Amino acid sequence: MRASVDRWQKWSMMVFIIAVIPACSGVYYNTLETFGVEKRDILVDRVKQARGSQQDAQEQFQSALDQFRAVVEVDGGELEKQYDKLSQRYERTSRQADEVRERIAAVDKVGKDLFAEWRGELKDYENADLRRRSEAQLEDTRERFDELMRVMQRAESRLDPVLELFEDQVLFLKHNLNARAIASLDVERVRIEERVARLLEEMQLAIREADAFIADMS
């Protein structure tokens, strides 16, 4: 019973540290390491969070697209109601995009810290063969990480262009809630569908790359 209480207290303290101490602080890493949590573990956790955020973003962008289609195809009296839904979808999608950016930045930060520490510790080896093997592993892991970041950041770069398209249409509809204005958006729908499709494809590639990286690190 006492062991269970101790484990719970340890876990509660870790949660408090993660929530309160900023990730950019050396204190953050040192404190977590006293609980047996290494930068490698933090990096894997951050990649998992970034992957989850991108999965959520996929759903939000698809939902926003579906709602935009509903507005374009709406009949008469339902127009304002459908516009309100679209505006809410856009706001949620924008917030989710912000979370994706934050998660990817967190992965980048922890990754750079991990590799800087790893490279710095190579000089501590007395055994030259072990040092060479560790350095080779470092370079291989760094290459995998760089590829992960490249794919994630490429997907991230598609967020703003799609959000800007949605924002334009939401603003246009806000000031032109009539059937003629809605009809004029049919051409825009094709452009938005194409942009969203490319974004979702890039995000799916990033999610697969994250899965592969997590598997390698595990």
Find out whether 25 and 39 touch, Cβ atoms under 8 Å: no
What's the alpha-carbon Rg for the chain, to the nearest Å?
23
| Domain residue ranges in the chain | 1-37, 51-217
Could you read off the pLDDT of 154-212 as tens digits, one per residue? 999 999 999 998 898 888 877 776 666 666 677 778 888 899 999 999 999 999 999 99
Q: To the nearest 10°, the Cα dihedral for 191, 192, 194, 197?
A: 180
Q: What is the pLDDT of residue 67?
A: 86
**Mean pLDDT of the 68-76 span:** 72
